[in-house]
Amino acid sequence: EPEVTQTPSHQVTQMGQEVILRCVPISNHLYFYWYRQILGQKVEFLVSFYNNEISEKSEIFDDQFSVERPDGSNFTLKIRSTKLEDSAMYFCASSDTTDTQYFGPGTRLTVL
Amino acid sequence: AQSVTQLGSHVSVSEGALVLLRCNYSSSVPPYLFWYVQYPNQGLQLLLKYTSAATLVKGINGFEAEFKKSETSFHLTKPSAHMSDAAEYFCAVSVGTGRRALTFGSGTRLQVQP
For B31, the closest chain A residue by CA position comes to A99
Contact assignment for A103 to B105 by CB distance below 8 Å = no
Contact assignment for B43 to A100 by CB distance below 8 Å = no
- Put simply, whether B40 touches A (Cβ < 8 Å) is no
Calculate how close chain A gets to B82, using CA atoms only, in Å. 23
Long-range contacts of B43-49 (CB under 8 A, 24+ apart): B43/A4, B43/A91, B43/A103, B43/A104, B43/A105, B43/A106, B44/A43, B44/A91, B44/A93, B44/A103, B44/B90, B45/A103, B46/A100, B46/A101, B46/A102, B47/B76, B47/B89, B48/B76, B49/A99, B49/A100, B49/B98
Residues of A in contact with B99 (CB under 8 A): 31, 48, 95, 99, 101
Residues A59/A67, Cβ–Cβ less than 8 Å: no
In whole angstroms, give the CA distance from residue A16 to residue A85.
12
Q: What is the pLDDT along chain B (114 residues), one digit of tens a residue?
A: 889 999 999 999 999 999 999 999 998 888 899 999 999 878 899 999 998 778 899 999 999 999 999 999 999 999 999 999 999 999 999 887 767 899 999 999 999 999
Which residues numbered 49-78 in B keep a CB inside 8 Å of some CB on A?
Answer: 49, 51
- Whether omega before B40 lies within 30 degrees of 0, making that bond cis, reads no
More confident residue, B98 or A78: A78
